[in-house]
Amino acid sequence: MHNQQYRVLVADDDENILNTLRLILKVRHFDVVTVHSPELALEQVKQADADIALIDLNYQLDTTSGQEGLDLIQRLKTIDSELPIVVMTGWGSVDIAVEAMKYGAVDFVEKPWDNERLVHILNTQIRLSEGLKKQFRLQQQNQLLQEQLNLCAFDNIVALSPVMKNLMESLMLIVESDANILLTGENGTGKSLLASYIHRYSSRAEQEFISVDMSCIPDTLFESEMFGHVKGAFTDAKQQRIGRFELADGGTLFLDEIGNMPVSQQSKLLRVLEEKQFEKVGGAKTQQVDVRVVSATNADLNEMIGDRSFRQDLFYRLNTFEFRVPSLRERVDDIIPLIERFGQIYTEKYRKPIGELTDEAIAILQSYDWPGNVRELSHVVERLVLLSQGKPLDKQLLKRVLPDYQEGDMPQSTLSPSQRHLVVGDGAVYSEKTVYSDKAVYSEKTVYSDKVAHSNTLEEIELEALKQRLDYFDGNASLAAESLGLSRSAFYRRLGKTK
């Protein structure tokens, strides 16, 4: 077997034995490090990783009992709880070998040893150790993935509105880099989904995406959660734990609600980001880590820096690039496509049909304030699927699922008939007609229909003119308003006023 990838730490106070083992193992392509005392063995494990340790039980202070070797096993395990240890004993010293196994050794060889048996033991224990590490890592990653399924429930991102298009175009410019990204914006705007998207399209996409809600970690458990702990590190540490940084090694670590971190935790996080290394709680071994950090918050970090509740140096580490995720109020053009997307998901989940939106319902949904943003919209659509029984989604039904809705004059729908039927693509949701022009162009010589000419009042004439202007732009209220020199809200107010 080719063993050059494996490093063996050999500890013995007999220089002849060290030289012999060095020769035997190097010939078989092991990377061999030899030391002649327990203290040097401990120092070596602190400084560099070893795949296995081969140690003598008796040193110069005590040449018969093996107590020095037993103490060394315990101290090595304190530094690296996963390090497999094989002990060397004198011929016929089976009792002390059994005792060593109780202390944490995985196997033993008797002096004088058989070379092939020794190499076989080392290879076997290294493979077993690697298998256990992979199994344990997978178990913890799978547990995290179950917790993070909600991040990927809605796989594609809807970006028809200009503000979301601009955001996605900007993200695509730097998504493949390793630059740290800070996402800001209100709760429920989809920052977690965007973080997952950034990972999927990055150069680290084949590695792990690990998410952690920083607002939920008690101060006393921060280091254990983020960096892991060794067995016995504290009272409830019944087994070792792999921290989030180690799980994300090579991939992306998403720190959600970063603004809710206590200052006492911020300095610990900053150190890892700066030095790219950490130690498990209760362990002395320093581990290197390589992660890309994406963080998110709904807090004003600049304001928090001003009142000293957030570290400025940590802020600079997190926001190589900062992107504000717009609220749903700013994404009116995305509301109906999002409803279509969520409708597909929940009709499949509950095996229930969802009815078609009425014009009045569309107007209500597009003018609603959406304090909970996309998350609230998702819950509303879920309730609509469960309550509609395939019937039209009208104003009365919306009253039941929008607790904050207050009845009043509502603007007309900004969707033309051709835009109410949406086509779901591989990567986004597209309407059949999308207006890309930066500035509205509208002929002032438009000939209005006879309906306008024969309207009885000025209000009726204005209403019909506004509706025709809206139809001209295929229901795009922003373009229609711009062509009239009005803001979008003023355009809606005029529509509502003249109804």
Structural domain contains residue 427: no
The CATH number of whichever domain residue 13 belongs to comes to: 3.40.50.2300
Residue 430 falls inside a structural domain: no
Structure pTM? 0.60
For the chain, what is the radius of gyration of the CA atoms? 33
Q: Does one domain contain both 197 and 279?
A: yes
Are 183 and 316 part of one and the same domain?
Answer: yes
Question: Residue 464 maps to which CATH number?
Answer: 1.10.10
CA angle 379, 383, 385 (to 5 degrees): 115
> In the prediction, which pLDDT does 133 show?
75
Residue 426 lies inside a defined structural domain of this protein: no
In a domain? residue 242:
yes
**Residue found under tokens 């429920």:** 188
Residue-range definition of the domain harbouring residue 490: 435-499
Q: What is the pLDDT of residue 439?
A: 31
Residue-by-residue pLDDT tens, the chain, 499 positions: 454 479 999 999 999 999 999 999 999 989 999 999 999 999 999 888 889 999 998 887 656 677 889 999 999 988 888 899 999 987 657 788 888 989 999 999 988 899 999 999 999 999 888 887 777 667 666 665 555 444 444 446 888 899 999 999 999 999 999 999 999 999 999 999 999 999 999 999 999 999 999 998 988 899 999 999 888 788 777 788 899 999 999 999 999 999 999 999 999 999 999 999 999 998 888 899 999 999 999 999 999 999 999 999 999 999 999 999 999 999 999 999 999 999 999 998 998 888 899 999 999 999 999 999 999 999 999 999 999 888 899 998 998 888 766 665 344 444 443 333 332 222 233 333 333 233 333 333 333 344 444 445 556 666 777 787 787 777 777 777 766 666 666 677 677 654 4
- Amino acid 335: pLDDT: 95
Give the 3-state DSSP-derived string for 23-76, with helices as H, strands as E and coil as C: HHHHHCCCEEEEECCHHHHHHHHHHCCCCEEEEECCECCECCCCHHHHHHHHHH
**pLDDT at position 425, please?**
27
Residue that finishes a domain, picked among 101, 131, 161: 131
Residues 439 and 359 reside in one and the same domain: no
Is residue 161 domain-resident?
Answer: yes
Q: Would you say residue 451 lies in a domain?
A: yes
Residues 6+ apart with CB under 8 A from 410: 360, 363, 364, 367, 496
Name the domain boundary from 326, 349, 372. 326
Q: Which residue has 């994404």 as its token pair?
A: 331
Residue 142 lies in a domain: no
Give domain status of residue 140, yes or no: no
Given a contact cutoff of 8 angstroms between Cβ atoms, the answer to whether 419 and 475 are in contact is yes
In this structure, what CATH number is given to the domain that contains residue 356?
A: 1.10.8.60
Are 61 and 196 part of one and the same domain? Answer: no
pLDDT attached to residue 480: 75
Q: Which of 238, 250, 263 is closest to 199 using CA atoms?
A: 250
State residue 64's pLDDT score.
64
Q: What is the pLDDT of residue 233?
A: 81
Residues in the chain: 499
pLDDT at position 240:
83
Identify whether residues 59 and 159 lie together within a single domain: no
Q: Which uninterrupted H or E stretch holds 345?
A: helix 332-350
Q: What is the CATH number of the domain that holds 181?
A: 3.40.50.300
> Are residues 360 and 321 part of one domain?
no
Domain count for the chain: 4
Do 305 and 333 reside in the same domain of the chain? no
Q: Are residues 384 and 476 both part of a single domain?
A: no
Same domain (yes/no): 338, 313: no
